[in-house]
Chain A
Amino acid sequence: MKFVANVDFSGGKLRPLDKSDVDTIIKLYQKQTLAGQSEAASKEHAERLIELSVQMAATQRGLMWAIEVDGQMAGMLSLYDWQPTSLKTLMRLDALPNLDQQKQVDALRSGVDYLAHKYHLRNFSFQCLPEGEEAIIDVIKLAGFEQSARLRDFRRTSQTEFSDILVFNMILTESVEGEQ
């Protein structure tokens, strides 16, 4: 059974992860910005991530799409902490340098539209580090997300150090819900 759908956007598509994506996932996950991610991704981590993407989607706990442009994987759009009853989810966007800003915005908007119509989600959020994630912050702002909070020392970065987290949020309007 297929739990992750293909979603087209201008110039590319969102599609499920597959085994051939391992090398690209390793490149994407060299940035250690995920909570609890203490080392750069390895082949085993990437393979486990692909397995996890299927399990997460099957149980509606999360979802991972590869962002594909010109037949090549160039990024990932992921959902974590998907709460179907509260119609909300936390998202994450990772992009290789060759995935330009406009395509990232288009991929994100297409993903949000799909999730709104397929699963009736209405509350989408990102948690970003204040430093080092400026490019992603620019993308999500262009896609319509607005900063709603800065949570102090919300994420532990080492045994003794913490980082603030910027919370960005997009609430879909009542008219979108009404269409459903």
Chain B
Amino acid sequence: MNWNLNTEQYYVRFAHEEDIENIYSLLGTKGVVKHHPKSPMVVEAQAMDEARRMVMQFEAKEAAFWLVEEKATGKVIARIRLQKFNWVSASAQLVLDAFPDSKTPAQIAEIVYAVLTLGYEDLSLHRIEWLLQSTDTRTVELANTFGFQHEGQLNSVVEFDGKWIDYQVYSMLNNDDNWQSAIKNQGFPKA
């Protein structure tokens, strides 16, 4: 199975040793991590540790991480992952870390479609959910645009910076009309 994906504008690929700087640049940006919620990285050693964890979680079949490299510039603009694989219920969670200026529907639609295609077709997943904070309005808008369905709220999931964080639950099933339309159109709506 080929885990590295090739879209029109991006290489959606696994990280390698030279990516420490890219990971640090991405996850050291407050606008990228604030809705997860996490503090931005402050030293490059954290990116090295993160890279190790990405490998370990993949080897344990718990998660798969891809960096998104723009073909035209070589710049890594995002990291996307499927995590919390549940092989019994055939489900996983989608997580996106992207530079704010790269979070446009046109850009993200291409990336999310590639990863969901792998999830449904190669990994035989049935349900992919996306947990988002309501304050992350731009990503909520993306989820709605792509046709993810809002299912409700998970309350007080984690504590961060003295506050309990709620998550809005969005999901897409492999037999949802919106996913079937995406397959037919070879991509998500971009607006």
Docked complex: B83-139 residues within 8 A CB-CB of A:
88-91, 126-127, 129
Given contacts A151-B169, A162-B126, contact A156 B154 (CB under 8 A): no
User: 20 pairs across A/B with beta carbons < 8 Å?
Assistant: A35-B89, A86-B158, A88-B156, A149-B154, A150-B151, A151-B169, A151-B171, A152-B127, A152-B149, A154-B89, A154-B91, A155-B89, A156-B88, A156-B89, A156-B90, A162-B126, A167-B152, A171-B155, A171-B156, A171-B164
* Partner-B contacts on A (CB < 8 A): 35-36, 86-88, 122-123, 147-156, 162, 167, 169, 171
Q: Is the CB of B126 within 8 A of A150?
A: no
Known: A148-B153, A154-B91. 9 other contacts (CB 8 A): A35-B88, A123-B155, A149-B153, A152-B171, A153-B126, A155-B89, A156-B126, A169-B155, A171-B164
Chain A: minimal CB distance from B161 (Å): 15
Distance in angstroms between the alpha carbons of A105 and B89 in the assembled complex: 31
Closest to A86 in B: B158
> Total contacts A to B, CB within 8 angstroms?
56
Give chain B's interface residues, CB within 8 Å of chain A.
Answer: 88-91, 126-127, 129, 149, 151-159, 164, 169, 171, 173
A169 to B151, CA, bound (A): 14
CA distance A123 to B166 in the complex (A): 12
Give which listed residue, B88, B151, B159, B169, contacts A86 with CB less than 8 A.
Answer: B159
Q: CB-CB < 8 A to B152: which residues of A?
A: 147-151, 167
